[in-house]
Amino acid sequence: MRRLLAAIVLIVLIVLIVMAGASQAAPLVLTADTRYASLEGRLEHFADAANALSFEAVRQQRFTLLPEFRSLGYDTAAHWFRFELSNQASAAPTRWVLTIGIPELEEVDIWVEKPEGGFAQYALGYHRPYGDRPYQTRLFAVPVDASGHTDVYFRVRTHNAINVTAELWQPGVFVANETRSNFHGGLYFGILLIAVLLYSILGAWLRDVVMAAYAGYIASQVLFNLGVTGYLPVLFAIDAPWLVDVFPRIGWLGGAIAIVLMWSRLLELKQAYPRIHRLYRFTIFLNLALLPFALMPFLVTSALLVVVKLANYLNSLNFFIGMALVLIAWWRTRRVELMVYFVAFIIPALGTGVNTAANLGMLPQNVVALYQMAPLVHVLVMSCGLALRLRQVQRDKAMAEQEATLATQRTEEQRRFVAMLSHEFRNPLAAIDRSAQMIGIKTPELAAEESRRLAQIRGNVATLSGLVDNFLLTEALDHGGLALSRTHCPIRPLLEEAVRMLGEDAGKRVVLTVEPSDAAFSLDPTLLGMAVGNLMDNALRYSPPDTAVEIAATVSAGELRIRIADRGPSLNNEDLAMLGTPYYRADSSLGKKGSGLGYYFARRIVEAHGGNLQASAGDGGGMVVEIGLRGTAKLHTATAPQERLCDVVH
């Protein structure tokens, strides 16, 4: 038993000795052949939770060896790192370049032991003046004169993940590596910027919201990655921490807005999934509302930070909803481009997952390159999907144009046929009317029933002749075959004549007002009188027999407005939208005479005058139709030659 206890104690002591030895890293030995050296596995770490210890106090603390470059997560502590160098290249000091990353660390303070004793101190960081850097690069680089034994300490304080890497370079090798790295960075961002320009042009040319929104998404990724990779301080080499922080924030919010807008239009959520469309629209408004706070961070409060977190959760939810809907759409249609979209957006999602895991310390830092390459691979894959979509859009456009051409041809053929038929109807109708009139003249002794039937024949002939005239006149207006004959015409006589043409019984139901009563307006009295007559005829036909139809005309500031209001049945929004379509009749017109051309005919005449015709539901029921004309208006005078001309034409 004693021997067993002694063995256990011995094993524990050995483990403790090994652990104690492992907590101290061996110095990095520099030789004449050393051109580059990574400090992975040689960094020792100490966390100052209170962020209060001085450099001298920290040197007395116990550091722990870090086995690899791995994030230490997120916290507000000051994280200290140290390593040792042993230069065996020569007895004289040798200049090296120490680089510390990642580029978005906010405060990096470095102490390098000098050959003559003491420490050289450097204050670097993403939020510190760029001009204070010994080397003007995107990484935090300082010179190290390694002679014999050299100690280096550095402290990192940041709100980002504590991602720390460190390398030692010979100056020439460092310059070559920076040149190569900047070339790759320029190529990377150049491809993304070309994609932004290309999709912006295509979106504007094709008036395609999807491509325009995707261009905005790529632009936001450019802004965000310029910050992550440390290029913004290089581009704006001035003391402007606000500026280098604003662009990544704009990129984050802009990306959320652009991707939601793209999914909404690409998947036609407004028609297919209206509730999800409303959620996406709310997301757009929320991110737009956060934009001023991104530009002015001093306005941010703790309550607003909660809203920002909720917005981030909502953006993530929208992404997963969009991906699920893409899969559903692909399953239903089997369209190849939908699967390409899915794969394209899985790539940055995986990259974001890898980056998040690396920031939390779950993965080593050497996998972060996958996250930085994800946007480029995503754009290349997405371009294939959008190319397929563009080809489908062009095919659909060609088919639509072909169908429209065929429909236009059929319509024109139908119109020509009806026009020909209408011309052919005129002579038989005129013959029927003359025959009925002659019967009435030559046989005045006809019984009352026969006289009524004869009058009915003439009335039906007159109705059919009116329809033929209306159709032929509409054809002339549509094809520019009828010129307006404008003249300054008094409004009241024009409207009174239109009412009189409707018949004595109809005139008793019409209430006419004109303001001012003696005004005149430049118009074609024949055509406008026919348009007003059609509208009043509709109003009288669909109103109860014991109700009045109000006609109010006002002339002011060079504008004529004629308002016709009835007490008939109201039309719903769908019927109002279809009103004016040739031959269209609402459900409320069942059992009423009409061809569906009256309102259309009136609208064409009003438009020929350069005006507009609008219909709406009345406040107390019924319908209100309003004619609006702009032109020249003046007061009517009894001796004006325009009045006599108007009377003659009318």
Q: How many residues does the chain have?
A: 650
Q: How confident is the model at residue 588 (pLDDT cuts 50, 70, 90)?
A: low
**Is there a contact between 99 and 169 (Cβ–Cβ < 8 Å)?**
yes
**Is there a contact between 597 and 474 (Cβ–Cβ < 8 Å)?**
yes
**Is there a contact between 367 and 71 (Cβ–Cβ < 8 Å)?**
no
Phi and psi at 564, nearest 5°, equal -120, 120
**Residue 649: burial class (beta carbons within 10 Å; 0-12, 13-18, 19+):** middle
pLDDT at 151: 92
Core vs surface per residue 241-259: b (16+ CB within 10 A) or e: beebbbbbbbbbbbbbbbb
Token code pair at residue 323: 């991906």
Token code pair at residue 245: 């922080």
Residue 392 three-state SS: helix
- What are the residues facing 406 on neighbouring strands? none
* 8-state DSSP, 570: -
Residue 637 in this model has a pLDDT that exceeds 50: no
Q: Which of 454-463, 501-510, 580-589 has the lowest mean pLDDT?
A: 580-589
* 8-state DSSP, 132: G
Token code pair at residue 51: 């962020």
| Percent of the chain at pLDDT exceeding 90 | 18
Cα(318)–Cα(283) distance, rounded to whole angstroms? Answer: 8
Residue 236 in this model has a pLDDT that exceeds 90: no
Tell me what the mean pLDDT of segment 10-28 comes to.
53
The dihedral sign for the CA sequence 141, 147, 148, 152: negative
The dihedral sign for the CA sequence 423, 427, 432, 433: positive
Cα(248)–Cα(224) distance, rounded to whole angstroms? Answer: 4
pLDDT at 3: 58
Tell me what the mean pLDDT of segment 281-305 comes to.
86
Which ranges of 299-367 does DSSP label H, i.e. alpha helix? 302-333, 336-359
**What confidence tens digit (pLDDT) does each residue in 473-490 have?**
666 666 665 667 788 888
**Is there a contact between 364 and 354 (Cβ–Cβ < 8 Å)?**
no
Tell me what the mean pLDDT of segment 18-45 comes to.
76
On average, the pLDDT of the chain sits at 80
pLDDT at 17: 40
Residue type for position 451 = S
Cα distances (Å, whole numbers) of residue 201 to 216, 263, 334: 12, 20, 29
- Residue, of 190 and 452, whose pLDDT is higher: 190
- Residue, of 586 and 495, whose pLDDT is higher: 495
pLDDT at 168: 92
Q: Which of 8-22, 48-62, 535-549, 626-640 has the lowest mean pLDDT?
A: 8-22
Residue 519's nearest CA partner among 431, 631, 386 is 631
Tell me what the mean pLDDT of segment 392-418 comes to.
78
The dihedral sign for the CA sequence 222, 228, 230, 233: positive
State CA 321 to chain mean position distance.
18
**What confidence tens digit (pLDDT) does each residue in 93-143 have?**
688 999 998 888 889 999 999 888 899 999 998 888 887 888 888 889 999
pLDDT at 434: 76
List the end-to-end C-alpha distance of the chain, in Å, as a whole number. Answer: 131
Residue 644 in this model has a pLDDT that exceeds 50: no
Longest dimension (CA), the chain: 150
Residue type for position 1 = M
The strands making up 549-556's β-sheet, listed across from edge to edge, are 510-515, 549-556, 559-565, 623-630, 612-617
Cα(284)–Cα(292) distance, rounded to whole angstroms? Answer: 14
State CA 585 to chain mean position distance.
38
- Residue, of 112 and 582, whose pLDDT is higher: 112
- Residue, of 617 and 592, whose pLDDT is higher: 617
Residue 509 in this model has a pLDDT that exceeds 70: yes
**What confidence tens digit (pLDDT) does each residue in 342-355 have?**
999 888 888 778 87
Token code pair at residue 57: 């106090």
Whose tokens are 């190290």? That residue is 144
- What are the residues facing 168 on neighbouring strands? 37, 98
**Is there a contact between 624 and 564 (Cβ–Cβ < 8 Å)?**
yes
Domains and CATH numbers, the chain: 23-169 (2.60.40.2380), 189-402 (1.20.1070), 487-649 (3.30.565.10)
Residue 643 in this model has a pLDDT that exceeds 60: no
Cα(521)–Cα(487) distance, rounded to whole angstroms? Answer: 8
| Percent of the chain at pLDDT exceeding 70 | 82
**Is there a contact between 112 and 43 (Cβ–Cβ < 8 Å)?**
no
pLDDT at 497: 85
pLDDT at 603: 85
Residue 217's nearest CA partner among 239, 234, 201, 195 is 195
